[in-house]
Structure 1
Amino acid sequence: MTRGLLGLVASGCGGVEKWFRTDLAEPAVQRGWQLAITFTPAVAPWFEAAGELDQLQALTDLPIRWEPRMPSEPKPYRTPDAFIFAPASANSVAKLALGIGDNQALTALNEAIGVEGCKVVVQPHANADKRRHPMWETHVTTLTGAGVVVVSDVPPRSLLDLLDT
């Protein structure tokens, strides 16, 4: 039984290519989610170099995306029912809070924030120096004010539990 379409988004940080499939994508499939996987452009080569792209593709019948589509091309799938963005780099958190969609991942997430009933969970991966930036708390407050669930220090599998609350 499918729970719905889950957008899994990742940016380049935290050794994501080592845990994303085993700790987030596979458990999501086991819970009945259909996956729509999108990467920021910088992280896609990490997954490719780690030999993870084919294994991730085997978990979904939808294309794994990181490049924008041409204006004449239709969307490859509808807007997911929920999103998990993990890990989210400090750069991506700032862009998301400001509504900047300069890559496929942020475009999808920015759209999702505006979709009524679409739950968006973001797990920032930013060191203490980046979190001390004077705009960090403003970005997090902007996202939470828009209904985004922003969590830190949660194991990837536990992010799936947040979709049920």
Structure 2
Amino acid sequence: MTTSHAFEASPSLVLREPTVQDLALANALGYERPTTIRKLIKRHAASLEAMGSLRHRGAMIVAGKGAQRLVTEYHLTNAQAAFIIAKAGTKRGDSLAIAIAEIFAMVLDTKLVPANGAALAELEAISGRELERRLAIQEEEREARSDAFRLLGRGRARRR
């Protein structure tokens, strides 16, 4: 059985990992202005970089009246593309995000299993990274609460 995708993965020049060009993804997601996806990618750059290097390159485009302009073109890994799909806010993006969520549920329910030891190791590494991120978030929240309580305590001391 062959699967048809609205966008194609292209081999990365650096790591030979398949990537998706930003405008191809935007078209697949149904963006009216495909370049809008670049703002979304920039806004979520930190999260995307948590999944690996955020690959980009300068690309020359021809603007109105033949003027040339340098723009940043992004090449997302499959994981990064899945993240952007979930954030896209388009009907096509929502449909794809639902499919991704259903596949994720199948993995958690052990209806899909790793194909080999390498895939199992990768799943375990993903779980480990997620745990590290969750613990970092909890620590950050704990520090924010401590700071807030300290500030509240200073306010009460001044009122007395």
Identify the TM-score tier after normalising by the shorter chain: under 0.3
> Which of 1 and 2 has greater Rg?
2
Name the TM-score, length of structure 1 as normaliser.
0.23
- Pick 1 or 2: higher relative contact order, CA cutoff 8 A, min separation 6: 1
Considering fraction of residues, name the structure with more helix: 2
